[in-house]
Chain A
Amino acid sequence: MSTEESLTLDKRLALVSFTKDAEPFIVVDTNKCNHCESKPCLYICPAEVYAWKEKLNYNTEGCMETGACLIVCHKIGAGAISWSYPSGGKGVTFKLG
């Protein structure tokens, strides 16, 4: 496998440091997602926070805090996502940016 093919998203995310936030800063009303045709969160998120496996699963630990999921969910999707930044000092830290 070439280096290009082996550079998966998981490997990319392992290059970024995340500090877990005890309080949930993203909350999804996943019942709404069952009726969502477009599921735009799956595509806009650069960190695959959202995944579909019979229902919507989400894992905020790799969240890069772009906030784009909130916009597409409410404007194209089912309006299921509540979103805020993680609490102060928590979440993603970019060492270079």
Chain B
Amino acid sequence: MSLGGFEVAVVGAGPAGSAAAITLAREGVQVLLVERGTFPGSKNVFGGRIYSYALKRLLGDSWKDAPVERFVRKEGITFMTSDNAFSVEFESKDPEGSFTAKRAKFDKWLAEKAEKAGASLITESRVDDLIMDGGRVRGVVAGQDKIPTDVVIACDGTTTGLARRAGLTSMLEPNQISMGVKDVIELPREKIEERLGLEPGQGAAHVFIGACSGGLRGGGFLYTNQDSLALGMVVGGDDVSSHKTQSYSFMRKLRQHPKVQRFIKGGKTVEYDAHMIPEAGPKMLSRPYTDGMVVAGDAAGHLLNNGYTFRGVDMAIQAGVAAAQTVLEARKKRDYSANSLKTFERKLHADPALKDMYTFHRVPAYLRNRRLYTVYPELVCAAAEAVYRVDGTGKKKISKELRLQAKGRVSIFTLIRDLIGGARTF
């Protein structure tokens, strides 16, 4: 069967796809949004937080009816050994800067906005292939359906199926991916607020570095929903494979830590989620466009993990909008060639939010330094123990104590080199 009459096919009704569809439909473009899940969001997993600015820009005031769990006011980081923890907390003054959410609700809500704007959504439809015509993309094939369009926007996620078919990337390398696993743990809202030290309705985000990843590249995270905690681990794909440690086994390490136990004790685990994260950034594609197609979101590495903020949904929305604007310009010129669509890349670099991906391009390499997950969390905890413990055996000045604790763990030369490297990277 041939489904005709659409100018643009957007593949994947995640944040990038829906943002692109909204932007196009508003301009009267006939756009088809194709989703393989039973509903938008049903296949999608993330840590737990969305930065609000992208939604405000896309939707104006109507972003306010987004399915927000809690606005995040408290940021925390914990360096942990197996039985100790050194935590730092910060309370943001920005009341609505970011919020926690559940993707099954959020993605569905955003796709409904696209439908309201005039896009057609079909679910339970897996795009298997591109319609190719002499190297140019001319639509998509979904099961029995051939859907010819002028241009395709591929927002099909980390596995980059369509970008690979179009020859924009080969397969990712194991050190370019991480595996994220997550438990959603139900707890009464008062308990969540009491344990995290929150005012009613406010939310927290917390990062864990150290023993939980067993020395491998990775770390833990905690986000507060209204009535549940999203607790998860992210570990490097290469490390998991070479250390022969099962990716989900890190959850037990994290959950059993005394610091984490105090948060989750008595909670009921109600869902287990997993997601592969592309860590290479936008360079995972040779370019995010080809004749007749642009690629946005996870599929094009439009996300950012700089070690302390994890951004996927906001970047995906920004990139989806930029992809749609590129298509709108090409539509005016009636030219969907790669040469016409290459303005997409310029837009990505010019967007002040997306520019962060390029600013922090050295981070993935820096984060491969194992000392970040072993030596340094141990050093921080040991130094804190030495500094705060008063047991009558005599105290040393802090600078001396730090040097003593570093001794045998890391050479001063290496420490300084890592510090300078960090200063250049972040």
Contacts and interface: CB of A to CB of B under 8 A. Distances in A.
B217 interface: no
Given A12-B272, A46-B179, A71-B171, A94 B241 contact: no
B274 interface: yes
Instruction: Give the interface size bracket for A toward B.
Output: 35 or more
A24 interface: no
B181 to A, nearest CB: 5
A89 B37 contact: yes
Contacts of A7: 183, 252, 255, 269
Interface stretch (A27-35, A37-45, A53-61): A37-45
Contacts of B244: 42-43
B247 A94 contact: no
List the 6 shortest-distance A-B pairs measured between CB atoms, nearest first: A89-B124, A97-B103, A12-B272, A40-B241, A46-B274, A67-B159
B174 interface: yes
B368 interface: no
Interface of B: 36-38, 41-46, 102-104, 107, 123-126, 128, 142-143, 158-159, 161, 171-174, 177, 179, 181, 183-184, 228, 237-238, 240-248, 252, 255-256, 269-276
A65 B276 CA distance: 9
A47 B241 contact: no
A15 B136 CA distance: 43
Given A43-B243, A68-B179, A89-B37, 9 more contacts: A12-B269, A43-B244, A44-B240, A67-B158, A85-B161, A88-B126, A93-B37, A97-B45, A97-B46
Q: A-side binding surface: helix, strand, loop or mixed?
A: loop
Given A71-B174, A76-B241, A88-B142, A94 B124 contact: no
Given A43-B240, A92-B43, A94-B104, A66 B179 contact: yes
Contacts of A13: 272
A64 B274 contact: yes
Contacts of A12: 183, 248, 269, 272
A43 B38 contact: no
A63 to B, nearest CB: 10
B271 A16 contact: yes
Contacts of A65: 43
B237 A97 contact: no
A38 to B, nearest CB: 7
A97 B44 contact: yes
A87 interface: yes
A97 B171 contact: no
A48 B249 CA distance: 11
A96 B270 contact: yes
A78 interface: no
A9 interface: yes
Nearest to A91: B43
B172 A71 contact: yes
A97 B44 CA distance: 6
Contacts of A88: 36, 123-126, 142-143
Contacts of B245: 43
Contacts of B274: 46-47, 64, 66
Nearest to A13: B272
Contacts of B184: 96
B162 to A, nearest CB: 12
A12 B231 CA distance: 13
Contacts of A95: 104, 271
Interface string A1-39: 000110101001101100000000000000000000010
B303 to A, nearest CB: 15
In this complex, the member of A43, A64, A67, A91 whose beta carbon has the largest number of chain B beta carbons within 10 angstroms is A43
11 contacts: A7-B255, A12-B269, A40-B241, A44-B179, A44-B237, A65-B43, A70-B171, A72-B237, A94-B104, A96-B273, A97-B107
Nearest to B274: A46
Given A68-B276, A89-B123, A75 B103 contact: no
Contacts of A16: 271-273
A83 B252 CA distance: 29
Contacts of B183: 7, 12
A12 B270 CA distance: 8
Given A44-B241, A46-B274, A97-B104, A9 B43 contact: no
B275 A66 contact: yes
